């Protein structure tokens, strides 16, 4: 009996392609995008051994209903070879996992504050992306505790094709409504460095105050960068501009008294690799003036060796963000 070698080669190629589709290997411990045929949530890249990627933070206007889009993608240069049906789910356990990994204190968003019409999404043939739309109801947030931070945990439950990512199959989506401090500000003031007298402040600068919760805002400076979250203050390092790594301040307010009660570090209070944290100067008058929409605050950047420098600043509201 004659064996057709061309036919055998064709069968082998088909079998190989099916094997690659069903058993595609992920590239590296944290990187899925380098491989093809992997289904994953679109999340910030993981750059360390943390169990879960950084949260996607979305701040909504106080409308009747808004939409949180959760993007899912198929990795690789080519689109789906056939229609893929994905089923996602809300997973409160992802929020708990995130808190342990990043030393955060998010609480799972109560079910009455959101709704999902369907957890099934489709990546059409030839496409690479699908979106799960979650409805958020801002007016209902008024009845919750604004001193808490809320987030949704989302997980890919199943897929009719491709391989579900081992690194980006679950993610956390922090949600909040803009607080009254949110906006674009001009920052004036002084910076005094206790270690190097040649390091001096650069003012005025422009900064975004970005809502984290009802009474906390992170500071994203835009004068020397695009204001991406988060970013620390730029200073004059003896003739050139520089900034401190692992340092970006968060202001905490008392909504009843309009006092600034704390200044902390986005990267963790001493838990980052530089050991840096924020400390408010309790001897100063730290407050928000609702009549003029200005914030007066004095605080320290602290390192393991002690206080590195002192910021004395006034934030003057310019426009909504």
Mean pLDDT of 78-88: 94
* Statement: residue 155 has pLDDT above 80: yes
Q: What is the DSSP string of 133-196?
A: EEEE-GGGGGGS-TTSEEEEEEEEEEESSSEE-SSSSEEEEEEEE--TT-EEEEEEEEEEESS-
Contact indicator for 186, 173 with CB cutoff of 8 Å: no
Q: What is the pLDDT of residue 6?
A: 36
Q: Indicate the pTM of the whole model.
A: 0.60
* Statement: residue 8 has pLDDT above 60: no
**Is 317 or 223 the better-scoring residue by pLDDT?**
317
Confidence of residue 195 (pLDDT cuts 50, 70, 90): very high
Express each pLDDT in 275-316 by its tens digit: 999 999 999 999 999 999 999 999 999 999 999 999 999 999
Mean pLDDT of 77-105: 94
Mean pLDDT of 127-147: 85
Q: Which two tokens stand for residue 36?
A: 């093809």
- Taking the domain 183-319, which CATH number applies? 2.40.128
Q: What is the pLDDT of residue 98?
A: 95
Mean pLDDT of 237-241: 91
Q: What is the pLDDT of residue 193?
A: 97
* Among the listed residues 250, 312, 315, 314, the one whose alpha carbon sits nearest the alpha carbon of residue 277: 250
Confidence of residue 230 (pLDDT cuts 50, 70, 90): low
Give the domain ranges of the chain: 27-177, 183-319
User: Mean pLDDT score of the chain, rounded to an integer?
Assistant: 86
Residue with tokens 């460095």: 193
State the Cα–Cα distance between residues 5 and 171, nearest whole angstrom. Answer: 48
State the Cα–Cα distance between residues 221 and 210, nearest whole angstrom. Answer: 11
State the Cα–Cα distance between residues 111 and 287, nearest whole angstrom. Answer: 35
Mean pLDDT of 66-87: 94
Domain 27-177: CATH superfamily, name plus number: hypothetical protein (bacova_03559) (2.60.40.1740)
Share of the chain above pLDDT 70, in %: 84
Mean pLDDT of 237-265: 94
Express each pLDDT in 46-65 by its tens digit: 866 678 998 998 888 878 89
């Amino acid at each position: 009996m004659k064996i057709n070698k061309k036919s055998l080669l064709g069968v082998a190629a088909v079998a190989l392609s099916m094997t690659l589709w069903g058993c595609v290997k992920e590239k590296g411990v944290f990187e899925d995008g380098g491989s093809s045929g992997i289904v994953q949530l679109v999340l910030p890249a993981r750059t360390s051994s943390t169990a879960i990627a950084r949260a996607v933070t979305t701040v909504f206007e106080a409308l009747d209903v808004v939409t949180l889009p959760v993007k899912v993608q198929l990795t690789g240069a080519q689109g789906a070879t056939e229609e893929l049906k994905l089923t996602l789910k809300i997973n409160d356990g992802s929020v708990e996992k995130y808190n342990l990994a990043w030393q955060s204190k998010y609480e799972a968003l109560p079910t009455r504050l959101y709704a999902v019409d369907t957890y099934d999404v489709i990546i059409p043939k030839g496409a690479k992306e699908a979106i799960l739309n979650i409805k958020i109801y801002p007016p209902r947030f008024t009845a919750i505790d604004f001193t808490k931070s809320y987030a949704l945990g989302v997980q890919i439950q199943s897929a009719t094709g491709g391989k579900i990512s081992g690194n980006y199959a679950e993610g956390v989506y922090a949600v909040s409504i803009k607080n009254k401090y949110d906006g674009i500000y001009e920052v004036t003031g002084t910076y005094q460095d206790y270690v190097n007298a040649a390091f001096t402040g650069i003012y005025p600068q422009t900064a975004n105050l970005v809502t984290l919760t009802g009474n906390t805002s992170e500071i994203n400076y835009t004068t020397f960068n695009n204001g991406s979250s988060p970013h620390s203050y730029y200073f004059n390092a003896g003739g050139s501009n520089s900034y401190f790594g692992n340092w970006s301040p968060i202001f905490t307010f008392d909504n009843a008294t309009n006092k600034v009660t704390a200044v902390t570090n986005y990267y963790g209070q001493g838990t980052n690799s530089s050991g840096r944290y924020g400390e408010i100067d309790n001897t100063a008058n730290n407050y928000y003036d609702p009549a003029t929409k200005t914030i007066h605050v004095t605080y320290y950047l602290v390192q393991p060796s002690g206080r590195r420098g002192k910021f004395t600043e006034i934030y003057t509201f310019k426009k909504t963000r």
